[in-house]
Structure 1
Amino acid sequence: MALKEGFDADDFKRRMEVYGMDESSIRYEKLYVERDTKIVLSTQKRDKSFVEPHVLRTSDLDTLKRWVGLPDKLFEQHGRCALKCPPVPTNWLPPGIADDVTKGDEPQQKLSARHHEAIGRATYAYLRGPSSAVARYKKNIELHFKEFLVPLWLFREVIVEPGAVLHFGAGMHTLLASKVWVKDGGKISSSGDLTVNCSLLQGA
């Protein structure tokens, strides 16, 4: 789970602007998870949520990194890596695919399960690490996924009471709020890749 936190008077407004949102985009003021209960936020039919997310769409990996990843500047401190960087896959491209991408043509070869796994690792390294380390894979990743969809769950305030669970389903999700308060014994969990972007975080 990635966490983006900070606070000042206009902080929440700036955070919403990253996703193309403003005050008029807030459909639900408050999400309250009662003691010893569980709320699931998901786009899967079997886990239908009582609220609807905004669905963000992009085919650009750098835009996706702004939405759900970590800024490159976090990994540089006085010329040294300030955070642990995700591992970078090496030599995972089938022969010819790198050349095809360079020419702007979609590769015709079918990828093996090993290559699919490597693309996933490269994507994670791009989003959650310094993008320059895997910049050569950017076009391959974009061709592979075609379009990235991110459910954005937007609230002004989220409160998770003791013994309560706020769970997010499979896939990428972003929780965007002005304030997130997870009381002792409460929990936020995810079956996929969750980004929590808030102005004020308490108790987690």
Structure 2
Amino acid sequence: METTIVDIDLQRQQLETCLHLFNPLLTYQQERFEYLLAEYKLNRVSEVHSKPLIVKSGSNVVISTTLDLQTPFQPCLRITKNLDQFKVWIGMPNSLFEEEVFSFTKELPSNSCIPESFADKSSFSLAEEKDIQRASYAYLFGNSKLVDGYKEIIEKFYAPFEVAVCAIEKIVIESGGSLIIQGSRPALLILRELEILQGGNIKIYAPTNMTVQKLYKLSN
């Protein structure tokens, strides 16, 4: 199987480990599709793509989180001011790090917290701004408890947080075809079925949380 995942290391590890992407045939199944439609209050008529998306051999199909009208599927936006909710949408649970399923390898902030008295972002020094960026990443894709001293200031200066949600009944990626996820916002993909033929590719260029109810890996 020559499936390619192009993304940051943590997300690649998440897909390979949690979805068992390199096991044969039906590799992953969970009854989550209907639950997540209700969880994100998705309108089945206007916000769920009921027709199968076929990625033909030799072609690229792009799902854009910038809501590009040229792409075949238009995600819908969900917005929150709560960093913990945003972590649920696109991040990784603390338990994966507490139970040592994953290890967080990125650099943590040099300070445990930052004063909350800043009037605006221009008050930050370069070092403080870098610490906030590191804390934001660690909060979402690591154990947030290690950087919870930054939560209020991240929410104060960077909320609201947006995610592009795309719910699709079925995607088939033929050999030599590429499904590309890219854009300026994080993506939340909810798929009832995903079929990847040998040589099919998924290329991810935006932070992406993908839930697949049934994942098939098929030979040509």
| TM interval, short-chain normalised | 0.7 to 0.9
State whether structure 2 residue 214 is matched by structure 1 residue 203.
no
Partner of 1:54: 76
Partner of 2:175: 162
Q: How big is the alpha-carbon RMSD for the aligned residues of Structure 1 and Structure 2?
A: 2.7
State whether structure 2 residue 204 is matched by structure 1 residue 190.
yes
Q: CA deviation at 1:154?
A: 0.9
Q: CA deviation at 1:72?
A: 1.9
55, 62, 66: which one aligns with 2:88: 66
Partner of 1:119: 132
Distance 1:76 1:191 in 2: 27
Aligned residue type for 1:34: K
Q: 1:143 to 1:86 in 2, by over 3 A?
A: farther
Note if contact 1:100-1:107 (Cα within 8 Å) is conserved in structure 2.
Answer: no
Q: Given the two structures, how large is their TM-score scaled by the length of structure 2?
A: 0.75
Of all paired residues, the percent bearing the same amino acid is 24
Aligned residue type for 2:216: Q
Distance 1:163 1:52 in 2: 24
Partner of 1:91: 111
Partner of 2:58, secondary structure, is: coil
Aligned residue type for 1:65: K
159, 169, 186: which one aligns with 1:146: 159
Spell out structure 1 runs of 4+ moving beyond 6 A.
none
Note if contact 1:41-1:48 (Cα within 8 Å) is conserved in structure 2.
Answer: no
Question: For structure 1, which segment, 116-125 or 188-197, has the greater mean C-alpha deviation from structure 2 after superposition?
Answer: 116-125
Q: CA deviation at 1:123?
A: 1.5
Question: For structure 1, which segment, 137-146 or 54-63, has the greater mean C-alpha deviation from structure 2 after superposition?
Answer: 137-146
Partner of 2:92, secondary structure, is: coil
31, 34, 41: which one aligns with 1:20: 41
Q: Given the two structures, how large is their TM-score scaled by the length of structure 1?
A: 0.80
How many residues align? The count is 193
